[in-house]
Structure 1
Amino acid sequence: MEEIKKAPMTVLLMLVNVIVFLAVEITGGSQDTLHMVDCGAAFAPLIIENKEWYRLFTCMFLHFGMSHLANNMLVLFVLGQRLEPVAGKVRLLLIYILGGVGGNIFSFFLDLEKGDYAVSAGASGAVFAVMGAMIYVLVRNRGRVQDLSARQILIMAAFSLYFGFTSSGVDNAAHVGGMICGFLIAVLVYHPGRIYPRKIRNAEP
């Protein structure tokens, strides 16, 4: 309950991902590539030829199997419950959505350049956007937010990127693009001390 009170938007985003995953599983299976495409996974030829740009958004809430979902939600939970109290619910949502879409757009154009088209889905671009934003917030807060230090988040980011680049079937472009977008969005929207003053209640007489 304490985590929900401290980071309700993070919990809501996790809940949406889980609900979508269950719906996909019930209607055809999250490991069925054709079904994932039908549900809104990203696929460059459909985006270009059919103008299905919505896929750059919907693919963020789809996952290939339980482990894919669990890994993304675990990292989102760890980072979100620390970022949301200092950045706010709306800013966390902006970072997650805009950063995730930005990462998917980066991946989409890279696919077009290489001519190597694959069905893509997952919240990892958005999660990396939260990670990128967290790096900037830590910089602005002199290297520490709650129990998380700049060194810890940089090690987490390095290992996450390394794991992606050394594994097959991972959309590394979305990871890198998401992290860069998240960092830049945080630069624009996070200004500690000026945008988030605490509300002061008048004491009862």
Structure 2
Amino acid sequence: MNQYEYRRESDFQRFVRNRKRVPVNTFFILANILVFLAVELTGSALSTGHMYRWGAAYAPAIVQGKEYYRLVTSMFLHFGIQHLGNNMLVLFFLGDCLERNLGRWKYAVVYMAGGVGANLLSLFVELKQGQEVVSAGASGAVFAVIGALIYVVLVNKGRIENFTVRQLILMAALSLYHGVTSVGIDNAAHIGGLICGLILGILLYRKPKMRYQAN
């Protein structure tokens, strides 16, 4: 009689296996965390001057100094652990879902292009209002993910995996409301990210066609 050995998959092994399905989102999350740790080890993420030296967005530096790289580097910087934690928690769930349904490279485009688009709108608003503030955070990219996922869910009859259109719109609305009623929140980046994500979702996502097989 043959003997078979059954080994139960550990929680850690299951976690690693699931992360392998979403390598791009895993990379973005790790990049944000590692950058935050580097910032903290060399100073403080709550120091405006220190964040500026690490590449936070600042209108005069971008426009007059032509330091356009800040439109990208600022996406991976966060003012404190709570700021980082809030963004990464949302990205962990919504980003995973979007990458699984959109594909690796298209998801990377949504995150990066959506984040840069959000920063551009924020820059435009700051210049128009004559503001000079140091800003940073992945919120613009996160809102781009939400915008793209809203479109993906709409195309799939209002539900995909565990998410519905109502849940996503409510999440976006509450986040925007919190930004409007709070101090020090870059609302332009949030709105810009949401709009860019929705547009990118329309351009990049194609619903898989049904396959029929004759018996």
Decide which of 174, 185, 194 is 1:179's aligned counterpart: 194
Q: Shift of residue 5 of structure 1?
A: 2.8
Quote how far apart the aligned CAs of 1:134 are. Answer: 0.5
Q: Which residue of 2 aligns with 1:86?
A: 101
CA deviation after TM superposition for structure 1 residue 29, in Å: 1.1
- Alignment match of 2:206 (pick from 180, 188, 191): 191
Partner residue, 1:119: 134
Q: Which of the residues 65, 73, 76 maps onto 1:50?
A: 65
CA offset digits 1:80-121 (Å, max 9, x no partner): 121111101111110000000000000001100000111000
- In the alignment, is residue 160 of structure 1 matched against residue 175 of structure 2? yes
Gapped regions of structure 2 (runs ≥ 5): 1-14
Q: Which runs of 5+ in 1 are unaligned?
A: 199-205
Which of residues 16, 27, 32 is equivalent to 2:47? 32
Superposed CA RMSD: 1.3
Task: State the one-letter code of the partner of 2:188.
Answer: A
| 2:145 aligned with 1:130 | yes
> Do the aligned partners of 1:83 and 1:134 also contact (CA within 8 Å) in 2?
yes
Contact 1:3 1:81 in 2 (8 A): no
Decide which structure has the larger Cα Rg and report it.
2
Distance of 1:123 and 1:51 partners within structure 2: 22
Equivalent residue number for residue 201 of structure 1: none
Instruction: Name the % identity.
Output: 52
**TM-score, normalized by length of structure 2?**
0.88
Equivalent residue letter for 2:192: G
Q: Structure 1 length as normaliser, TM-score?
A: 0.93
Which residue is 2:31 aligned to? 16
CA deviation map 1:6-30 (0-9, x unaligned): 3221111100000000001111111
Pick from 97, 119, 122 the counterpart of residue 104 of structure 1.
119
| Code of the aligned partner of 2:43 | G
- Which amino acid is the alignment partner of residue 105 of structure 2? V
Q: Distance in 1 between matches of 2:24 and 2:61?
A: 32
Q: Distance in 2 between matches of 1:17 and 1:3?
A: 19
Question: How many aligned residue pairs are there?
Answer: 196
